[in-house]
């Protein structure tokens, strides 16, 4: 089947004659592959006043069309209908494909092939306003394709053949100025100037008569050039641009944006500035753009290398003008010696022509400001490594590195088929080259000239050390970088070197100042210099990153520093990181941190004062923490920073839910403390390393680490530190479901004397006691200890713990019947707001979970289910199995209350999976009880078995849920075990 709409509507292998059917078919073909709504179709058929039976009549139309068209061609949708022509079936789609290919490949034959599909105006003869509006878009696309085809033909010199086609096109579209201009050029190039001028007069008359306007500046300039005789024939055109590469790939978005800006035109000449780091392909891109749009500037394509970053001195404006004027053919004796006179002559010559000029490798705005064209009709492309802020009214494009796919495509263009045979290795080569075009080209050249190498062989060399491998004859990445580096100010050079010392991939301005020892203002000025020449990237405000190869280059330069200079730079960075991380510790946590690390004074108090949001900064620096710790561990003089930085970061990592980070940083810290023989530091690291295993429900390992910490602290006789480790052990017991043991141990700690304890130091044991009492169903005791805990927490100002206290008190009071659901909800929300301000996702998920259970018990099941899902969304990234099991169990409980046993079962099964995997005795028991309740009607025997297993486990850990499970077992033992509205109010998490 063939559908034709580029002219009157027709289909092969069938006839559509009914007027309404033709309108419906036309609308579907104008929107192929898309659902066209019933309302849209009705509007197309009847206009603004469709009959009441419109939907039925449209169904009849579609039925008739289905009898004519292939089976399944028209598909129904709740909103309307969709027609999906196969590739090659719809002439409009074929036209679009050919036109796109012709433009991208600059192939006039493909454009001509697409234009040959037209048989007249699109959908001619269909009297529907909606159809004609949509068809008009296709007609406009036809005009654009004719113009693009003509432009490509003009470039190849087919003027005689063009004249007839363009004459017919101008006759059909008399108000299209671009067509008129193209016809004038074809006539001019064919030696028929009188006819060219006559076409201008015709176009001007038509525009005035029809629209009341004069021709635009482009057509007027063309006319003026012909009158003056300054418009050269094609043979007289000047072409001085260097050869562009034949393997240009990628940059499609950048190229499209540049050309769109250039095409916008206006009263001023077009000026586009392309800046970027060394080797980013600025000149290549400029030459590619020039090749794409050079036909619009037929008189001259000029080029001058301004040597902004090269071994030579930057070219003076007067010398650059001499080069450009000579390229235009101006005799040497006509070129004045004074700069101001040369500028005047340059502008006079440009005014006669439509010129494209490429100013390559500009050093500064001042170097090019007087060289830029001043009359419309010309284009200047400027490239440079430095950002040219001093040029007004220009479009600036800062060139990024290539995307991974673009980089692989470039490598394949250079090195051939081997790249496609090893896609993973090729992608890694591009990554190792940092996406830098120069690096990829040099890597590809090494591969291309070594036919026995595989891509993996090249990759192995690059992994060992990339920079030495990225060289070919006189070209190398290092030399390109060195030219940029050599042009820097002394402070900027020093900062760049010291960035090679920085352990992190990113560095904010505080880190730069700490590394260099510079005041903040001076550090910022040096950083700005590096950014301006693209040796440094500002990833976000005041956060900077070196390109991977530039980092390697900076590391090489840092190796030239004296050892003591490098150590002092690293000391500054580590000290700044330590004290910024310490600032995230609040209340009693800060007291304990100072006690553990000895309250060292910061080397740079000014930098610490500039940290406005310590938590946000530490979150940003978190990926680099281990690298900082490794850097400190490798220097004996700085080893203490390794464990102190891990310790200072712990609270943030714990509350934000990063147990893997805690484990990695503290494992490295432990290696350092054991190596240097600091037993107190080792005990502290072991104590906090245990928390990572605690969050992962790895009870045995957490217990082992805490017992090691306790043994050391007992050897040292540090009673206060012993208390902290014992409370943590009580928390591990709680995590294991040993609630009685947890409460007893916390009460024992509470009875221990500790005269040196500061504000809030009792809160840990109070929390352990209160939580254990809740789990054991001793709610009155839990409330008393929660209230004591709240009084202590208010003293510390720790928002997270204050909020957690408020939420726990609300839950316990609700369970005791002291407050109703509305009051409990208000109090819980008050606690939740405090938790959110303190930014602890773990505590936030717990609060939403408790809120959901209360809301469910009060009967608002839909909202409760939404709250459960929100809690799970918050908890998911934390990957805490104990919390995950508890939250899924809570969701299952509420779903049971809502009568949704199928989804409740899914939730209980996930809770059970986590419970079994991480040996969570309580989690397994309540999940089995929940599954049993789901199966009461479906499989009573299995439900009885699961309840029995749960009862045994719950009895062993003295869990209060045992009472309700035993009730279920008793009911299942009788004849009537069915429960209307069974909803698990009994099973609580």
Higher pLDDT, 233 or 22: 22
Task: Give residue-wise pLDDT tens across range 635-677.
Answer: 999 999 999 999 999 999 998 889 999 999 999 999 999 999 9
Asked if residue 189 lies in contact with residue 234, where contact means CB atoms within 8 angstroms, the answer is yes
Asked if residue 441 lies in contact with residue 435, where contact means CB atoms within 8 angstroms, the answer is no
Structure tokens belonging to residue 863: 């909202």
Average pLDDT over residues 281-294: 89
pLDDT higher than threshold 50 for residue 978 = no
Percent of the chain exceeding pLDDT 70 equals: 95
- State the average pLDDT for the chain: 88
pLDDT higher than threshold 60 for residue 228 = yes
Q: State the pLDDT at residue 982.
A: 32
Q: State the pLDDT at residue 479.
A: 83
Kindly list the strands in the beta sheet with 300-305, ordered across the sheet, starting from the edge strand earlier in the chain: 238-239, 300-305, 355-360, 379-384, 270-275, 395-398
562-717: CATH, from 1.25.40, 3.40.50, 1.20.81, 1.20.1260: 1.25.40
488-559: CATH, from 3.40.630.10, 1.10.10.10, 2.60.40.1180, 3.30.70.2860: 1.10.10.10
612-625 per-residue burial string, b: 16 or more CB within 10 A, e: under 16: eebbebbbbbbebb
Task: Give residue-wise pLDDT tens across range 317-330.
Answer: 999 999 999 898 88
pLDDT higher than threshold 90 for residue 520 = yes
Tell me phi and psi for residue 255, to 5 degrees: -60, -45
Task: Give residue-wise pLDDT tens across range 904-926.
Answer: 999 999 999 999 988 888 999 99
Asked if residue 233 lies in contact with residue 280, where contact means CB atoms within 8 angstroms, the answer is no
pLDDT higher than threshold 60 for residue 402 = yes
Q: Is the CATH number 3.40.50.300 carried by domain 237-398?
A: yes
Average pLDDT over residues 533-555: 88
- Where in the chain are the domains? 237-398, 404-474, 488-559, 562-717, 719-787, 798-876, 880-989
Q: State the pLDDT at residue 91.
A: 92
pLDDT higher than threshold 90 for residue 540 = no
Q: State the pLDDT at residue 986.
A: 29
- Which range of 195-209, 214-228, 632-646, 738-752 scores highest in mean pLDDT? It is 632-646
Residues whose CB is less than 8 angstroms from the CB of residue 252 and which lie 6 or more positions away in sequence, other chains included: none
Residue appearing with tokens 């034709």: 4
Higher pLDDT, 864 or 158: 864
How far CA 540 is from CA of 386, 524, 537, 913, in Å, comes to 19, 14, 9, 42
pLDDT higher than threshold 60 for residue 976 = no
Query: Coil, strand, or helix at residue 302?
Result: strand
pTM flag (> 0.95): no
Structure tokens belonging to residue 186: 């074809």
pLDDT tier for residue 56 given thresholds of 50, 70 and 90 = confident
For the range 551-555, what are the long-range contacts, defined as Cβ-Cβ under 8 Å and sequence gap of 24 or more? 551/499, 551/500, 551/505, 552/465, 552/466, 552/467, 553/467, 553/477, 553/478, 553/481, 553/485, 553/500, 554/496, 554/497, 554/499, 554/500, 555/500
pLDDT tier for residue 236 given thresholds of 50, 70 and 90 = low
Average pLDDT over residues 48-66: 87
DSSP annotation of 90: B
Q: State the pLDDT at residue 974.
A: 42
Average pLDDT over residues 107-130: 89
Q: State the pLDDT at residue 234.
A: 52
Structure tokens belonging to residue 950: 């749960």
pLDDT tier for residue 977 given thresholds of 50, 70 and 90 = very low
Q: State the pLDDT at residue 232.
A: 54
pLDDT tier for residue 981 given thresholds of 50, 70 and 90 = very low
pLDDT higher than threshold 60 for residue 756 = no
pLDDT higher than threshold 90 for residue 312 = no
Q: Is the CATH number 1.10.3470 carried by domain 719-787?
A: no
165-195 per-residue burial string, b: 16 or more CB within 10 A, e: under 16: bbbebbeebbebbbbbbbbbbbbbbeebeeb
Q: State the pLDDT at residue 239.
A: 87
Task: Give residue-wise pLDDT tens across range 343-370.
Answer: 999 998 888 788 999 999 998 999 999 9
pLDDT higher than threshold 80 for residue 267 = no
Going along 928-969, which residue ranges are E strands?
A: none
pLDDT higher than threshold 70 for residue 984 = no
Average pLDDT over residues 548-573: 92
Task: Give residue-wise pLDDT tens across range 945-959.
Answer: 999 999 999 888 888
- Which range of 176-190, 702-716, 969-983 scores highest in mean pLDDT? It is 702-716
Structure tokens belonging to residue 960: 């209060």
Task: Give residue-wise pLDDT tens across range 375-397.
Answer: 877 899 999 988 888 888 788 88
- Which range of 58-67, 428-437, 669-678 scores highest in mean pLDDT? It is 669-678
Asked if residue 199 lies in contact with residue 187, where contact means CB atoms within 8 angstroms, the answer is yes
Task: Give residue-wise pLDDT tens across range 784-820.
Answer: 999 998 988 888 788 999 999 999 999 999 999 999 9
Distance CA 687, CA 647 (A): 10
Q: State the pLDDT at residue 664.
A: 96
880-989: CATH, from 3.30.870, 1.25.40, 1.10.357, 3.30.70: 1.25.40
Domains 562-717 and 719-787 fall in the same CATH topology? yes
pLDDT higher than threshold 70 for residue 985 = no
pLDDT higher than threshold 90 for residue 884 = yes
pLDDT tier for residue 988 given thresholds of 50, 70 and 90 = very low
448-462 per-residue burial string, b: 16 or more CB within 10 A, e: under 16: eeeeebebebbbebb
Structure tokens belonging to residue 361: 């490798």
Structure tokens belonging to residue 894: 């509420």
pLDDT higher than threshold 60 for residue 235 = no
Q: State the pLDDT at residue 793.
A: 83
pLDDT higher than threshold 60 for residue 727 = yes
- Among the residue ranges 419-433, 599-613, 769-783, the one predicted with the least confidence is 419-433
Task: Give residue-wise pLDDT tens across range 17-43.
Answer: 778 899 999 999 999 989 999 999 999
Say how many C-beta atoms besides its own lie within 10 A of residue 246's C-beta: 6
- Among the residue ranges 244-253, 495-504, 614-623, 826-835, the one predicted with the least confidence is 244-253
């Amino acid at each position: 089947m063939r559908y034709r709409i580029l002219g009157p509507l027709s289909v092969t292998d069938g006839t559509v004659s009914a007027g309404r059917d033709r309108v419906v078919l036309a609308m579907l073909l104008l929107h192929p592959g898309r659902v066209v709504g019933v309302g849209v179709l009705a509007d197309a058929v009847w206009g603004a006043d469709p009959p009441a039976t419109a939907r039925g009549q449209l169904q009849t139309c579609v039925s008739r069309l289905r009898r004519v068209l292939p089976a399944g061609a028209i598909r129904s949708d709740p909103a309307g209908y969709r027609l999906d022509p196969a590739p090659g079936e719809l002439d409009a789609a074929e036209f679009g494909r050919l036109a796109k290919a012709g433009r991208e490949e600059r192939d006039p034959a493909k454009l001509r092939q697409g234009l040959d599909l037209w048989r007249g105006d699109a959908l001619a003869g269909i009297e529907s306003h909606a159809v004609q509006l949509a068809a008009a878009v296709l007609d406009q696309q036809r005009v654009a394709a004719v113009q693009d085809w003509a432009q490509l033909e003009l470039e190849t010199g087919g003027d005689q053949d063009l004249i007839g086609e363009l004459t017919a096109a101008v006759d059909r579209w008399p108000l299209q100025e671009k067509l008129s201009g193209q016809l004038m050029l074809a006539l001019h190039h064919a030696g028929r100037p009188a006819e060219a001028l006559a076409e201008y007069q015709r176009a001007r008359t038509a525009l005035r008569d029809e629209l009341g306007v004069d021709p635009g500046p482009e057509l007027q300039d063309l006319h003026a050039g012909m009158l003056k005789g300054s418009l050269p024939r094609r043979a007289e055109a000047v072409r001085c641009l260097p050869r562009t590469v034949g393997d240009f790939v990628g940059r499609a978005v950048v190229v499209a944006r540049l050309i769109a800006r250039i095409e916008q035109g206006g009263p001023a000449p077009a000026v586009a500035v392309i800046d970027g780091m060394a080797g980013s392909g600025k000149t290549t891109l400029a030459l590619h753009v020039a090749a794409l749009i050079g036909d619009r500037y037929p008189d001259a394509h000029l080029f001058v290398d301004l040597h902004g970053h090269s071994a030579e001195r930057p070219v003076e404006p007067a010398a650059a003008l001499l080069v450009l004027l000579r390229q235009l053919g101006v005799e040497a004796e006509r070129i004045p010696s004074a700069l101001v006179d040369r500028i005047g002559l340059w502008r006079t010559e440009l005014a006669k022509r439509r010129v494209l000029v490429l100013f390559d490798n500009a050093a500064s705005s001042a170097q090019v400001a007087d060289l830029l064209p001043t009359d419309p009709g010309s284009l200047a492309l400027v490239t440079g490594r430095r950002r040219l802020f001093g040029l007004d009214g220009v479009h600036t494009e800062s060139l990024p590195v290539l995307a991974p796919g673009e980089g692989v495509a470039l490598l394949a263009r250079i090195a051939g088929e081997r790249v496609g045979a090893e896609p993973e290795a090729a992608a890694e080569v591009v990554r190792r080259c940092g996406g830098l075009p120069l690096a990829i080209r040099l890597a590809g050249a090494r591969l291309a000239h070594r036919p026995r190498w595989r891509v993996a062989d090249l990759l192995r060399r690059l992994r060992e050390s990339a920079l030495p491998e990225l060289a070919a004859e006189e070209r190398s990445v290092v030399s390109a970088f060195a030219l940029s580096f050599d042009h820097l100010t002394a402070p900027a050079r020093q900062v760049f070197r010291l960035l090679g010392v920085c352990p992190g991939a990113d560095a904010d301005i505080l880190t730069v100042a700490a590394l260099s020892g510079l005041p903040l203002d001076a550090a910022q000025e040096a950083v700005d210099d590096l950014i301006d020449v693209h040796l440094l990237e500002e990833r976000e405000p005041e956060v900077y990153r070196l390109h991977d190869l530039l980092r390697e280059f900076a590391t090489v330069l840092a190796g030239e520093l004296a050892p003591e200079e490098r150590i002092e730079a690293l000391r500054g960075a580590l000290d700044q990181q330590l004290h910024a991380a310490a600032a995230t510790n609040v209340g009693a946590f800060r007291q304990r941190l100072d006690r553990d690390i000895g309250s060292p004074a910061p080397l740079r108090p000014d930098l610490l004062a500039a940290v406005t949001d310590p938590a946000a900064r530490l979150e940003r620096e978190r990926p680099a923490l281990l690298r900082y710790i490794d850097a400190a561990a490798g220097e004996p003089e700085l080893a203490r920073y390794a464990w102190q930085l891990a310790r200072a970061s712990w609270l943030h990592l714990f509350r934000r839910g990063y147990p893997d980070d805690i484990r990695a940083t503290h494992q490295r810290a432990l290696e350092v403390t054991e190596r240097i023989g600091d037993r107190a530091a080792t005990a502290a690291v072991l104590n906090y390393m245990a928390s990572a295993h605690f969050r992962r429900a790895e009870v045995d390992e957490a217990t082992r680490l805490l017992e090691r910490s306790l043994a050391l602290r007992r050897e040292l006789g540090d009673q206060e530190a012993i208390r902290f480790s014992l409370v943590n052990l009580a928390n591990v017991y709680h995590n294991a479901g040993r609630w009685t043991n947890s409460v007893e141990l916390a009460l024992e700690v509470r009875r221990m004397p500790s005269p040196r304890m500061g504000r809030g130091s009792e809160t840990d044991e109070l929390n352990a006691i209160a939580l254990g009492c809740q789990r054991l169903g001793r709610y009155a005791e839990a409330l008393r200890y929660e209230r004591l805990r709240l009084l202590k927490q208010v003293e510390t100002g720790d928002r997270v713990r204050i909020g957690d206290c408020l939420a726990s008190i609300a839950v316990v009071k609700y369970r005791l019947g002291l407050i109703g659901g509305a009051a409990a909800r208000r109090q819980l929300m008050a606690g939740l707001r405090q938790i959110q301000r303190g930014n602890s996702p773990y505590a936030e998920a717990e609060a939403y979970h408790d809120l959901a259970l209360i809301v469910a018990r009060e009967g608002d099941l839909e909202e409760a289910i939404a709250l459960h899902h929100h809690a799970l969304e918050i908890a998911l990234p934390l990957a805490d199995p104990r919390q995950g099991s508890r939250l899924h169990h809570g969701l299952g409980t509420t779903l049971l209350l809502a009568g949704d046993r199928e989804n409740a079962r899914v939730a209980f099964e996930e809770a059970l999976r986590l419970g079994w995997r991480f040996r969570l005795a309580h989690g397994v028991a309540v999940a089995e009880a929940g599954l049993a309740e789901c199966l009461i009607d479906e499989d009573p025997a299995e439900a009885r078995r699961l309840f029995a297993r749960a009862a045994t486990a719950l009895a062993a850990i003295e869990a209060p849920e045992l009472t309700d499970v035993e009730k279920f077992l008793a009911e299942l033992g009788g004849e009537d075990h069915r429960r209307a509205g069974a909803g698990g109010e009994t099973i609580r998490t």
